[in-house]
Structure 1
Amino acid sequence: MKSDERVIYFYDLAVTARTEHANLPPVRSLLEVIAAERAAGRFRTAGDRAGNLWHFLGPIEFDEDNQTATILIRSSDKRSPEYGYSNVNDGTLRLLEKDNHEGGDAAAHLVVSLLPADPDTYIAVLEGVSGLSHRNVISLFNNLLTAFYANNPSHFTYPDPAGAKTRNGDIKRHEVKPKFKLIGHISDQLHQDIENGTIGDIELRNGRVNSTIGNDPFIRSKSFRLTLSVQADIPKANVLERLVTAIQSKHATYDRAKIHFVDQTGHPKTVEIDVTTGAVEQSYVQARRISAVFPPLRMTTDVILSRVSDPMKEMLIEYRG
């Protein structure tokens, strides 16, 4: 990652809930909730059980004119090594020591459209930063929302779909606790690699199982897999969409999938797919590059940097149309 450029990835930020037929609040309402949590001092969540990885919610800025929100997300990993810088003229080394309660910090900007592209779905662009993925962002947001709902279960409600009423004659309302999902826009490169390459097997995996084998309490199942084959003569038009549709049809049983293929240059590759959402890993998410950033960027920041967020906002507005 160079100090004067960033890669920006395109996502759909979806507002979801377990309850079917619920009227979900707009994305702004959820962002205002986590912004209020930050203002109240509730701005961090643990990224692992050992307490080595932490995610922090930074500033949130709403742009009324352009109908966007800009959020800074940070991650700190206590397991990261100490940084060192060497003098290129004489070779001397300067090490930056960290305390026991400190971790290597990474920060990324996220810009979200406040105008829906589809029902309950909003375009978002995320700054690509090593050590901070879209999964970290969603983990932070949803953990903050979960903590909020624990104390405010009736903050979001929706009217009964069948029109049921209370004893007082009012329309009955139900609680709903919406969360977020980030789903990457599949890149043209993946379409080209799949359509012009050779498709191998597809592996579906369920890593959520945890049951004993043969009634032995010391031997437990960890996961199970299903392997799919793809006929060599499958029509290549929209083939990726067909594969993803087939994969998602198994979402009740499996959570992850891998498509093995040989690309058009003869290199074997694998792409991982989220079975529930159809999302792909970041290397195959649609992306654009910001170049010639000045002043150069540091490894991290605790404030929103307009020289990064403004070009991201322009990309989003152009993409949104």
Structure 2
Amino acid sequence: MKHVFNGGAWEWHEFPESDKAGIEKLAREKDPYHIDKWAANLPRMKTNHIMVDAFRKGEEWIAGTLVFKQDLTEKEDYHYFHFFVAENFMITSGLDFNVFGKDDYNLLNEQMDTCDNALEGFSVLLGEITTSSLMKIDPFEVKLNDLFWKVKKENSTGLLEEIYHARHELLVLKHLMMPLQEIKIAMEEAFGEQASGGPEYKRTCLKIERGFKIANEYQTEIDTLIRLEEVVSSHRGNEIMKTLTVLTTLFTPITALGALWGMNFRNMPELEWKYGYLFAIGLVVISTLILYIVLKKKGWAGDILRGKKRNSFFK
């Protein structure tokens, strides 16, 4: 499909990915731009890729493949399209606008009609793609807020799993925006101020910058949550080990004396004592109390015998 904008100032040629013949025909019409070389590589290009040609004045172009949508849970569920952009025309192949929605497509065409050249038109398209990524980042504010309070109220492997899932989703979204940053730089490399001076290009650059800033801030918050969760988990693990150590120490007398009097030697005078049983109990209690007092005075028991407070990280 061919679109002509701004009174014939520039053109946009849309092709399905399967329309190889249509692209080859257009390549013959635009012969100086060597579109045929770009088109020949399309079947193999299914991931992010970019090429820049700025050697011939007036015939500069950028081309490549852009993954513009990725499912946050399934690696193989993603959408991409191919593009070729010169000053007065651009070509897209395999761009599925159902992903954006019909209203966005119509609005996109109206906005492109105000652009002076294809560079500005392509910037509008990149801006729309950036906006769709930003809309996915926004819900992280609610998700992170929930995680902040969950970390305070509970401490479990499930919560750590939830935090790492959020981190992975954010990394996927950042990965989608990184090629946009590369394309932005490639446009400046190929077209110089002709690209960087346009209002739509500047607007798209601000969107990309905003997306990266938000994503970086959220990533910092998630990393802080992970460190906090790890510190709390480590502290509680240490408390558990300390508790087990103290309890083992306190039960050492009864264990040792029980083992001693559980032996089957014939000559054990304690067995004939009238008050031997009471003596044994008293010895166990007194030795246990002595151990407890020693641990308490030296501070080795810490606060493990105190009850834990609700909504507290360590107390």
Comparing both structures, which one devotes a greater share of its residues to helix?
Answer: 2
Bigger relative CO (Cα 8 Å, ≥ 6 apart): 1
Question: Which TM-score band applies after superposition, normalised by the shorter structure?
Answer: under 0.3
Q: TM-score, normalised by structure 2?
A: 0.20
Q: TM-score, normalised by structure 1?
A: 0.19
Q: From the CA coordinates, give the structure whose radius of gyration is larger.
A: 2
